[in-house]
Structure 1
Amino acid sequence: MRRIKRRHRHRPTNNNRPPKQEDDDEEEEEHDQKPYILQLPVHIITEIFCKIPTKTLIQCKRVSKSWRCWFSDPQFTRELFSRTPASLWVTGHFLVDLDRIGSQSNVALQLFSNLRALCMTVVGSCNGFLCHYDFNSDFTRHLHISNPVTCEFFSLPIPSNRDSGDCYGFGFSPISDVYKLVRVSSLGGEPDQVMVLTVGFGIWRNIGHPGYSFYRVNPRHGIYLNGVLHWIGRSCRDRSRRLICVFDVESERFQELPLPLSSQNLRRTYFKLGILKGWLSVIHKVNDVISVWVMKDYGVKESWTKENEFKKPVGSFVTSTMKFTEQGKVLGLHHNQLMAYTLATTSLVRVQVDGLPSWISEAWELVPSFVSLKDIAGGLQHEGTICQS
């Protein structure tokens, strides 16, 4: 098959100009009234900010108009995003420093709480943005894109047909510079249908059949990497054979990638896709043994490499595995609590983070971004803006 090698590229920052001003008052602000750090050359300020923890930067943005001005400049925020480490986003809009998981000084930062009452499920994550699906008690459905760091969200149109058993994917095309939401409708014996929404245009397009079966796929959200969405699917010709279904966000075409091991025995084998150290990864479980594989040369079957192998600690823990740390720990959810499994001692312990709720329904690895939703949706009107609480 054709190899897909694309990377999310941002426009380079122009280090010879200051960030845009938000209003006339800020343009007239005297140079000597700005904080000393903001009087430094732009490239030096960027270097400094890239070394500051994300939670501290979020708090800095609230200090004054000068600080908000810096964090509203599109080119600066894109440069910052490209050099920001991943954090853990937890239901209720809490942000946790992944590199300090387990540290007594690690404190969760609550971003905004106005959405906590909504029963939202994340169906995709891309470039610091989250795509939420919300099914209310009055049986109305909603789709939202949010940036939990800038406290913005807007609504997307809902497809007209029913969505029982749907798979979603949220991705970015670095060629066209657009974001797209993909929905694959799977209704058992009926052929699957693929619909695509380009963010900012407001119209769902039916692009036909994927050529693969997504029936009873788990998990149902696509994994985004370098302009491509990935799901575990099945061959239409041989439903017992599972594979990686690949959707190119730019061309809107499906291809396939092989799994690292045979998947003929569906009852005893479990696969979960993810991203590990920038590589496409697969967690493979058969009986009581869990193996973690990474594809080091994208698209090449022979490049699948086993990174870890361990005994299953608890029944459901593997299905919610989120992160493998440098300290030899596996992070995941078990009974709606954040837990860590230590490979060396094969022990499972609860991870304590000050400020984090005791009950967690969902958690995602997320690279925080200060890029505004206005920069990705063009002239799309926001349904509402959520302010920081």
Structure 2
Amino acid sequence: MSKELPKDVIIDILSRVPVRYILRFKCVSKSWYALFQNPKFIAKHFQIQTANSDVTALDASFLFTPHKSTSPPTAAANRNVGLILSNSEKPIKIPIEIDIPFLSISKPLRVCGSCNGLICLSILPIASIILLWNPATRVFKDLPVSPIDRPRAGPIKVVLGFGFDAITNDYKVLRIVYFGYPLNQVEMYSLSTNSWKEIKTRVQFLIFESSCSVFLKGRFHWTAIGFEEMHGKKLIVCYDFREEAFHYIMPPEFDFAGWDGEGEDSSMSKVTWSAVALKDSLAVIGSAGNGSGKRFEVWVMKEYGVVSSWTRYRSFELQSKVGRPLGCGLKGEFLLEKDNNQLVLYDSDSQRIKSLGNHGVAYWSDVFNYVGSLLPIKGGKVAQRTNLSSVVPDFFFVRKMDLTVE
């Protein structure tokens, strides 16, 4: 009798192992190496990693662009992506050694989205280079230059959204280019066709920087200021990758009256809020207060797209100097940033605050949930300095001040 376990048992066991360990097992045997590249195994592995709460506790992370160090900038310092494990106090920095010609070495990367273990990165300030990247496998792909005709005016602002269209099984990147209201362009990149196309639509909103961007239910969400009939109101703008259309969602009505951090009248307190994903539901975190304390309200949209379904999920007060809310973990914990760049994780169920140290998130950076995967990138290649140095920027988005001075 064979002493080996049945093949299906082995596959089931391996599908429950975090991706960082799977990659170490590639050298065990040729059969395991082939298994880890099998699309069925890759899909099963990722499904289990995201569905099992015990597994996601091991490999679920927050992904962001780290705060710039006070020391003199270096290529490594500015080419890093910050990754904090939800169950660890020690952050993991993923070095992305990009040696890109034509751009100053001090230009950092922006994390623009995370979906199914793949992340979208762009070069600041206005996305002259866009990359799709799997940090676990180190496979990357630089997006081609768009052939779309441009106006003579240079871009003022560029906003990206990255998501997955489950109907067409395709990863897509949305690019909104602001030239100055009302002049703008919207275009979308498809990984399956490796091409860009223009989306003919009006952009009647201005998206905020670091607005806690969210990809959820096939749509990418931002917080923004609406123009024209929206009368300058702050709202949630979402783009449906399937319909190829923008939609608006009005936020709930917060009630912070009578609270300013010290129990006194707060009618004049400034209320801020951001959109987040909370356990597969669209949610917002609102905050008000000043001095040494703040009050937070978390509202969840019970029925997606139905404004009347906004329901208050949690309300809590924190006396420490907490600044902006950055996002929610896969288990519903809240990532917050203190005024001194300290990151903390707040569990509203246990009411416990966990310090994650002085790591900091760049003020212009969003924070995304990340679960490692073995998912491939069509047309991608393993990152090395030799192939990364051949990445060519879209010169329409390169400003003179960004060029390298010899």
TM-score, reference length from structure 1: 0.71
Kept after mapping to 2: 8 A contact 1:245/1:255: yes
Structure 1 alignment gaps of length 5 or more: 1-31, 375-379
Query: How far apart in 2 are the matches of 1:316 and 1:141?
Result: 34
Out of 323, 343, 350, the residue aligned to residue 329 of structure 2 is 323
Q: 1:369 aligns with which of 359, 373, 380?
A: 373
Does structure 2 retain, via aligned residues, the 8 Å contact 1:131–1:144?
yes
Measure the CA separation in 2 of the matches of 1:49 and 1:170: 29
| Percent identity between the two aligned chains | 24
Task: Say if 1:324 and 1:330, in contact at 8 Å, map to a contact too.
Answer: no
Does the C-alpha gap of structure 1 residues 183 and 262 become closer, same or farther in structure 2, counting only changes over 3 Å? farther
Calculate the aligned-residue CA RMSD, in Å.
3.7
Structure 1 residues 310, 186: closer, same or farther in 2, change over 3 A?
Answer: farther
Structure 1 residues 46 and 200: CA distance shift in structure 2, 3 A? same
The answer to whether the 8 Å contact 1:173/1:249 transfers is yes
Contact 1:313–1:341, Cα closer than 8 Å, also in 2: no
d(CA) in 2 for partners of 1:63 and 1:181? Answer: 37
Matched, 1:223 2:227: no
Q: By how many angstroms is 1:121 displaced?
A: 0.7
Q: 1:114 aligned to 2:101? A: no
Question: Which among 331, 339, 344 is matched to residue 339 of structure 1?
Answer: 344
The 1-side partners of 2:253 and 2:201 are apart by 27
Tell me by how many angstroms 1:209 deviates: 2.8
State the alpha-carbon separation in 2 of the partners of residues 257 and 359 from structure 1: 30
- How far off its partner does 1:231 sit? 1.7
Instruction: Kindly state the Cα deviation for residue 198 of structure 1 after the two structures are TM-superposed.
Output: 1.3
Q: Deviations over 1:324-372 (max 9, x none)?
A: 866xx633344444323466998866325xxxx9566465320211111
- Tell me the CA shift for residue 155 of structure 1: 0.3
Summarize deviations over 1:155-187 as a string: whole Å, max 9, x none. 013457544222211111111111111112234
In the alignment, residue 302 of structure 2 is paired with which amino acid?
K
- Is contact 2:110–2:121 with CA below 8 Å preserved after alignment? yes
SS at match of 2:10: helix
CA distance, structure 2, for counterparts of residue 63 and residue 155 of structure 1: 31
TM-aligned CA distance change 1:221 to 1:321, over 3 Å = closer
CA distance in structure 1 between the partners assigned to 2:92 and 2:210 by the alignment: 27
Instruction: Write out aligned runs for 1:10-25 (5 A).
Output: none
Distance 2:177 2:318 in 1: 33
- Say whether 1:254 aligns with 2:246: yes
Q: CA deviation at 1:83?
A: 1.8
Is 1:125 the counterpart of 2:90? The answer is no
Q: Deviations over 1:30-76 (max 9, x none)?
A: xx9xx94xx5233x334323433443334334544433222111111
Matched residue type, 1:180: K
Residue pairs, 1:126-205, within 5 angstroms? 126-135=115-124, 141-159=128-146, 161=150, 162-205=154-197
Equivalent runs, 1:277-292 vs 2, <5 Å: 277-287=279-289, 288-292=294-298
* Residue-by-residue CA offset, 1:214-273 (whole Å, 9 max, x unaligned): x2523367421121111223253133322222211012012222212279x999332211
Determine the C-alpha separation between the residues in 1 that align with 2:268 and 2:210.
Answer: 15
Distance in 1 between the 2:98 and 2:28 partners?
Answer: 24
Alpha-carbon distance in structure 2 between the residues aligned to 1:225 and 1:66: 36
Whether the 8 Å contact between 1:330 and 1:341 is mirrored in structure 2 is yes
Matching residue of 1:274: 276
Q: Which residue is 2:7 aligned to?
A: 41
SS in 1 for 2:42: helix
Partner of 1:88: 62
Quick one: structure 1 residues 147 and 266, their matched pair in 2 at CA, closer, same or farther if it must change by over 3 Å? farther
Task: Specify whether residues 108 and 261 from structure 1 end up closer, same or farther in structure 2 by C-alpha distance, changes over 3 A only.
Answer: same
Q: Distance in 1 between matches of 2:325 and 2:374?
A: 31
Distance 2:278 2:26 in 1: 30
Q: Measured at CA, do residues 75 and 344 of structure 1 come closer, stay the same or move farther in structure 2, by a change above 3 Å? A: closer
1:284-318 superposed Cα distances (whole Å, 9 cap, x missing partner): 22344321112122122232222222235566632
Q: Quick check: 64-73 or 121-130, which moved more? A: 64-73
Count of matched residue pairs: 330
Partner of 1:150, secondary structure, is coil
Which residue does 1:10 correspond to in 2? none
Which residue of the partner structure matches residue 398 of structure 2? none
> 2 CA distance for matches of 1:90 and 1:345?
26
CA contact (8 A) 1:180 1:198 kept: yes
Question: Is the Cα contact below 8 Å between 2:238 and 2:247 reproduced in 1?
Answer: yes
Tell me the amino acid that sits aligned with residue 178 of structure 1.
D
Q: Tell me how far 1:111 sits from its aligned partner.
A: 5.6
One-letter amino acid of the structure 1 residue matched with residue 48 of structure 2: R
TM-score of the aligned structures, taking structure 2 as reference length? 0.68
Structure 2 Cα separation of the partners of residues 332 and 262 of structure 1: 19
Alignment partner of 1:141: what SS?
A: coil
Pick aligned residue for 2:198 from 206, 224, 239: 206
Counterpart check, 1:311 vs 2:317 = yes
Structure 2: 5+ residue runs without aligned partners? 50-55, 66-79, 100-104, 256-266, 386-406
Flag the 1:140–1:127 CA change in 2: closer, same or farther, 3 A: closer
